[in-house]
Amino acid sequence: MTESVVTDHTKQETISADQNRVELCEKNPAEDFLRMDRIPHIWCPGCGIGTSVNAFVRALIEAKVDRSKLCVVSGIGCSGRVSGYLNVDAFHTTHGRAIPFATGLKLANPELTVVVYSGDGDLSAIGGNHLVHAARRNIDIKVVCVNNFIYSMTGGQAAPTTPMGTIASTAPYGFCEYALNLPHFVEACGATYIARWTTFHVRQLQKSMQESFAKKGFTFIEVIAPCPTLYGRRNQYRQGVDEMKMFKEVSRREKDIETRDAEIKPGEKIVIGKFVDRERETWLESMQHHYKEVLGDAYYPYTGAMI
Amino acid sequence: MKDSKMATAEKKERQSRGNVNINKDRCKGCGFCVEFCPTHALRFSEDFNALGYHYPVRLEEAACTGCDQCGAFCPDFAIFGYRYKSHT
Ligand SMILES: Cc1ncc(C[n+]2csc(CCOP(=O)(O)OP(=O)(O)O)c2C)c(N)n1
Ligand code: SF4
Ligand code: SF4
Ligand code: SF4
């Protein structure tokens, strides 16, 4: 080895006042929440999924989420592998079914914080119907949707989120369909909290995740992420960092922006920010309300199947 | 002469605010940290790590503020910044 890396393992006294951070000097803050025996992970160099996990873990730490009451559910895809790398109760379900699985978890044990962490294809294509109805019912789950514009795991086929005109393995001459505007879609369905960030906006992403943990109801955070291997390389972004630079350049955060303006078109701005933050009764609350009203004292309120 | 001395003192002061920890063998060389470090305190190594990638090294002469921007970006959990206690 010709070079030495500057590390500073010894300066234990040099850390911030926060007790949580004392170890951080020697250990990456993310490590506590990761299954380190599985690291390095399978994601390609420059893949944005890892960056989003970084923000997620930091949000868990900052928001002091009780790990014993946390469940992360993923579907199938590169993004779906997130659950396997987290050192929390995690479930890797079948393709598109993360939301119904999470719905069951949440309703059986309403004390849990249930996070669905999956890809755009998994959540909006094969799992699209579940997304509609979980948002409509306002099931209290926190959805993180990694949008890399493509079905990555299976070879870069066009997805509902592939921007019109871009190249995919199933669209070598450019994709001819309108892309699904995810924030607009879930707003129409009834989500209570909706934000979109790119992996360049890690701090804002982390903050949104923290907000969503504190929010009651169906929350949806879209994370635009680079997939250099199957999207970037076909679309002029040879490396992940090239796509990150593009995010930095074209992302716009405007005041009072509406989700209907958030459609993604290549070469145009990417609208980012928090779009929706509203209150609605969750499904469980509205069920309890309703039966209390209809049945009066005969109704024994359901508070979970766990004893 | 006096100016450059001041500049060095200022740099030292900023440098002493924090530092960066690099786990070189976990790095996949994506360059997020090198590209987006606000103080340009990192560069790529010339040699390769165990996975066969160039990894970031700290530029001794540049000021790392320990802001942890690199840590927030790193998809492979290979780098993070931290602040010294006296400055928090
Ligand atoms: C029922 C079923 N149909 C199809 C597949 C094949 N398949 C695996 S992952 C995937 C797409 C995943 O895309 P996305 O959710 O965007 O995740 P990414 O890989 O892009 O992160 C598909 C179609 C499958 N595993 N199961
Ligand atoms: S194929 Fe794309 S999404 Fe999958 S790990 Fe590689 S870069 Fe990430
Ligand atoms: S901690 Fe901040 S200043 Fe130091 S290397 Fe990382 S990004 Fe640069
Ligand atoms: S961000 Fe992480 S993986 Fe990428 S070059 Fe820096 S240390 Fe390596």
The ipTM value here is: 0.87
Residue A149, CB half-sphere, CA atoms under 13 Å: how many?
Answer: 33
Q: Is residue B8 part of a domain?
A: no
Mean pLDDT score, A178-199: 98
CB contact under 8 A, B57 and A3: yes
Atom 4 in ligand 4: residue holding the nearest Cα: B30
CA A215, chain centre distance (Å): 15
Closest residue in A to B51 (Cα–Cα): A40
Q: What is the pLDDT of residues A196-230, one digit of tens each?
A: 999 999 999 999 999 999 999 999 999 999 999 99
Q: How confident is the model at residue B9 (pLDDT cuts 50, 70, 90)?
A: low
Q: How confident is the model at residue B62 (pLDDT cuts 50, 70, 90)?
A: confident
Q: Is residue A238 part of a domain?
A: yes
Residues of A in contact with B55 (CB under 8 A): 5
Distance CA A162, CA A179 (A): 6
Which residues, other chains included, contact A161 with Cβ-Cβ below 8 Å and sequence gap of 6+? A120, A121, A124, A147, A149, A179, A180, A182, A264
The ligand 1 site (C-beta within 6 Å) comprises A 76-79, 95, 119-122, 146, 148, 150-154, 159
Q: Examine the pLDDT at A121 and tell me if it is beyond 70.
A: yes
- Give pTM, 2 decimals: 0.91
Q: Is residue B12 part of a domain?
A: no
Q: Examine the pLDDT at B68 and tell me if it is beyond 90.
A: yes
pLDDT at B2: 47
Q: Is residue A73 part of a domain?
A: yes
Q: Is residue B47 part of a domain?
A: yes
> Structure tokens of B30?
């994506």
Structural domain count, chain A: 1
CB contact under 8 A, A6 and B60: yes
CB A201 within 8 A of CB A210: no
- In the chain, the amino acid numbered A233 is R
CB contact under 8 A, B75 and A14: no
Q: Is residue B78 part of a domain?
A: yes
Running DSSP on this structure, what letter comes out for residue A86? B
**Residue length of chain A:** 307
Domain span at A127: 42-288
CB A135 within 8 A of CB A217: no
Mean pLDDT score, A35-60: 97
CB A67 within 8 A of CB A59: no
Which of A90, A181, A180, A186 has the alpha carbon at shortest distance from A134? A186
Q: Write a three-state SS string for chain B.
A: CHHHHHHHHHHHHHHCCEEEEECHHHCCCCCHHHHHCCCCCEEEEEEECCCCCEEEEECCCCCCCCCCHHHHHCCCCCEEEEECHHHC
Q: How confident is the model at residue B3 (pLDDT cuts 50, 70, 90)?
A: low
Q: What is the pLDDT of residues B19-41, one digit of tens each?
A: 899 999 999 999 999 999 999 99
pLDDT at A68: 96
- CATH number of domain containing B50: 3.30.70.20
Q: How confident is the model at residue A27 (pLDDT cuts 50, 70, 90)?
A: confident
Q: Tell how far the Cα of A85 is from the centroid of ligand 4, in angstroms.
A: 18
Structural domain count, chain B: 1
Helix (H) or strand (E) holding A271: strand A270-271
- In the chain, the amino acid numbered B13 is E
CB A74 within 8 A of CB A90: yes
CB contact under 8 A, B72 and A240: no
CA A260, chain centre distance (Å): 20
Phi then psi for residue A56, to 5 deg, are -65, -45
B4 at interface of A, judged by CB pairs closer than 8 A: no
Q: Examine the pLDDT at A93 and tell me if it is beyond 50.
A: yes
Q: A64: burial class by Cβ within 10 Å (0-12, 13-18, 19+)?
A: exposed
**Residue length of chain B:** 88
Distance CA A294, CA A24 (A): 54
Q: Is residue A1 part of a domain?
A: no
| A 30-59 near B (Cβ less than 8 A) | 30-31, 34, 39-41, 43-51, 53-55, 58
> Structure tokens of A66?
């009780």
> Using a 6 Å cutoff on CB, does residue B29 contact ligand 4?
yes
B55 at interface of A, judged by CB pairs closer than 8 A: yes
CB A270 within 8 A of CB A264: yes
Q: Is residue A3 part of a domain?
A: no
Q: How confident is the model at residue A9 (pLDDT cuts 50, 70, 90)?
A: very low
**pLDDT over 90 percentage in chain B:** 64
pLDDT at A6: 43
**pLDDT over 90 percentage in chain A:** 86
- CATH number of domain containing A159: 3.40.50.970
Domain span at B26: 19-83
Atom 4 in ligand 3: residue holding the nearest Cα: B64
Q: Examine the pLDDT at A22 and tell me if it is beyond 50.
A: no
For residue A45, give the ligand 4 atom closest to its CA.
3
Q: Is residue B1 part of a domain?
A: no
Q: What is the pLDDT of residues A235-289, one digit of tens each?
A: 999 999 999 999 999 999 988 889 999 999 988 999 999 999 999 999 999 999 9
Q: Examine the pLDDT at B88 and tell me if it is beyond 60.
A: no
Q: Examine the pLDDT at A193 and tell me if it is beyond 50.
A: yes
Bigger pLDDT: A3 vs A141: A141
